[in-house]
Structure formats: C-alpha cells, structure tokens
C-alpha cells in the first residue's frame, strides 16, 4: 500500500476550507489539466456523507472513470472518500482540517493499492505516486487560492 501525506496552510476559516474541498465544481476546476468531469452521482456543488460521485478524466493518455463514496464526515474537521469502482485495488482519501489563529491546516492522507502485482508496484514507484502527488498539490493550490479570496 502506498501513502501520500500532504499539509496545506490556508488563511481562511475551517468551514470555508472544508466546503471548498468537497465542492464538485471547484474540484473540476482544479483537475482541468486531466479534463476531469463529474459524470454521475453528485455532479455539482457540495458532496455529503454517503453520496457518490463518478469522475471521468484523462490520465496517462487514457480516459478513466473513478467512482467514490463519502464514507465518513464530521463537520468541519474530517471527511473520507473511498473508491467504489475504478482502476485501483483500493483507494482511500482522508481529509483533515484544523484551525488556529484564522489559519486552517488541511491535511490529505491518500492510501491506495495498485492491481497487477509487481507490474502495478513498478508503475506506482516510477510514475503513479508522483502523478497523484502532483495532482493533489495542484488541487490544493487552487483550493487555497479560492478559499483565501
């Protein structure tokens, strides 16, 4: 299993950051490089507990779909999205939020497993982990810009 941990400091209230990070429209904006679109389930505005969204985007030259469900949510501190259908063996993205002195710390913990045994592990090591890290960093920079404005 691979784990990616990222921390982003945002000069905005915890509620603002929490809502921006679960906003489908903002996610589509942040994922425009991969042409990611919500095609089923919740396709705009805020996603909530036990709701699903199916994404379609272009990664590594292929259009892929990924269906996630919000499996846990505690306003305004935490939520989890987990893959229900997609190319990963497992995929769990935890989002943590803490506010201190008008600065919200947003922490991402993404854990996933690739299929296809050693080939999947090599693909992850050489390409996928870096791709997902950059995807999240770009997403978080856009969330930060939006939340701070």
- If you average pLDDT over residues 23-36, what whole number do you get? 93
Domains in the chain (CATH in brackets) are 2-148 (3.30.530.20)
Confidence label for 32 from pLDDT (cuts 50, 70 and 90): confident
Q: What is the pLDDT of residues 73-114, one digit of tens each?
A: 999 999 999 999 999 999 999 999 999 999 999 999 999 999
Confidence label for 59 from pLDDT (cuts 50, 70 and 90): very high
- Contact between residue 104 and residue 2 where contact means Cβ atoms under 8 Å apart: no
What are the residues whose beta carbons fall under 8 Å from the beta carbon of 128, sequence distance 6 or more?
A: 2, 114
3-class DSSP assignment, residue 12? coil
Above 90 in pLDDT, residue 30? yes
Backbone angles phi, psi at 19, to 5 degrees: -70, -40
Q: Which helix (H) or strand (E) is 91 found in, with range?
A: strand 90-100
Confidence label for 33 from pLDDT (cuts 50, 70 and 90): confident
In percent, the amount of the chain with pLDDT more than 90 equals 99
Mean model confidence pLDDT for the chain = 97
């Amino acid at each position: 299993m691979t784990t990616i941990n990222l921390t982003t400091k945002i000069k905005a209230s915890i509620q603002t950051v929490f809502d921006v990070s679960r906003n489908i429209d903002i996610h589509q904006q942040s994922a425009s490089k991969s042409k990611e679109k919500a095609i089923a389930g919740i396709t705009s505005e805020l996603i909530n507990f036990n709701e699903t969204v199916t994404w379609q985007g272009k990664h590594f030259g292929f259009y892929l779909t990924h269906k996630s469900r919000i499996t846990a949510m505690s306003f305004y501190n935490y939520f989890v999205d987990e893959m229900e259908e997609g190319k990963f063996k497992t995929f769990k993205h935890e989002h943590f939020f803490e506010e201190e002195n008008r600065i919200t710390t947003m922490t991402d913990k993404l854990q996933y497993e690739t299929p296809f045994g050693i080939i999947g592990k090599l693909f992850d090591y050489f390409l996928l982990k870096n791709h997902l890290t950059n995807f999240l960093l770009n997403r978080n920079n856009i969330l930060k810009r939006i939340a701070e404005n």
